[in-house]
Amino acid sequence: MSKTVLITGTSSGYGLAIAQHFLTQGWNVAATMRKPSATAFAKSDRLKVFPLDVTDTASIDETIAQAKDHFGGIDALINNAGIGLASAFEATPDETIRELFDTNTFGVFATCRAIIPLMRKQGGGTIVNVTSSAAIAPTYPLVSVYVASKCAIEGFTESVANELLPFNIRAKLVEPGLAPTTRFGANAATRMDGLIPHDYQDYAQRYFQKMAHYPTDYCKETEVAAAAFEAASDGSNRLRYPAGADSELLASLRWPTSEEAYLTRMRELFVP
């Protein structure tokens, strides 16, 4: 029988690519999004689109129950839903910080809490949390709140992976790089309006110019989809799956080098 994956945030970008990739690999796909639409997908008996808002526990519980009933079980959860933000920290209001954490951090906690009992009762499963290359290297300026929301998930996943081992449940991380082809930046534009004050404008402009001359190829949605599938299906206890040339570069800089060498190189690459 085909395995089943439930994926959050599949309306576009990484989530859509992940859902399509799992379908091509023969999995059943419960594709979830806030406003359900199947138009992005080719018709398939192995696909069903469900409404899911990761900030609403009732929505999470209902969708997981419906997906389990429809497909007979859920073998993997891919927590992909997320929102972005570029801002100067001092200008970022509490409500904006809470909005980011509600989706990027507490939304992941909520879906994990809801799926773990199901996976424990069925004898196992895999949880894949999608974070960011910025969680590998939190050196990027003007994204401190976003980075904090993703670094929280990195620490959470590393810890919870160990407490779930006795139940044959694996928790893993996929760490995508920067992908300008997704709608991620455009969706964040209205949220960041006015959050880079005048005193930061010169620095911000130089930073964005530096980022326009990126040191590697940009990440592709297909690379993230392949990493998510590997994480969900390889059966290993590997924790981290960097996706994209930039994530691979940052991982190679972060872990085998000294902290001083890492910070020096990162500031050369990304800090104006």
C-alpha distances (whole Å) from 199 to each of 189, 194, 217 are 20, 12, 32
In the annotation, is 146 catalytic?
Answer: yes
Which residues, in sequence order, are bridge partners of residue 131? Answer: none
Q: Are 5 and 30 in contact (CB under 8 A)?
A: yes
Among 146, 200, 203, 207, the active-site one is 146
- All residues at 6 or more sequence positions from 215 whose CB lies less than 8 Å from its CB, including other chains: 246, 249, 269
In b/e form, how buried is each residue of 198-228, taking b as 16+ CB within 10 angstroms?
A: eebeeebeebeeebeeeeeeebbbebbbbbb
| Distance between CA atoms of residues 174 and 200, nearest Å | 32
Q: Which residues are catalytic?
A: 146
